[in-house]
Amino acid sequence: MYTFCKVFICAAIAVAMAGCGTTTIKPNYTSTNADLLRIGGGEPSDKEPEIINMGSYCLKVTEKWKPDGKTPDGQTIWSKDSIRQATPCR
């Protein structure tokens, strides 16, 4: 019984070492909507504020990109904030 346990433990260690020795899969980060989230690269440029006529009032829409963390391989995650503010129409 003691010999069986030693063989089993050695086999488990060998399997663990073989598993750790294989090459890892490179992560693939994708976004279904690149207008809201981007991975890596430099900071995306912000658009000029846009005024949208909603009929009886107007909306001023400002969009800004901000760093929102990093991926496990060190790439920056960029997310977009959208600020909407009611404003008088011109």
Q: How many domains would you assign to the chain?
A: 1
Q: Collapse the DSSP code of 16 into the 3-class scheme (helix H, G, I; strand E, B; otherwise coil) and give the result.
A: helix
- Segment among 14-28, 48-62, 71-85 with least mean pLDDT: 14-28
What does the mean pLDDT of the chain come to?
82
Q: What is the pLDDT of residue 83?
A: 93
> Which range marks the domain in which residue 31 is found?
2-87
Does residue 27 have a pLDDT over 70? no
Q: Where are the beta strands (DSSP E) in the chain?
A: 37-39, 50-53, 58-70, 76-87
| CB contact at 8 A, 12 and 4 | no
How large is the average pLDDT for residues 31-53?
Answer: 83
From the list 77, 52, 80, the residue with the least C-alpha distance to 67 is 77
Q: Which residue has the higher pLDDT, 58 or 5?
A: 58
Q: What is the pLDDT of residue 29?
A: 66
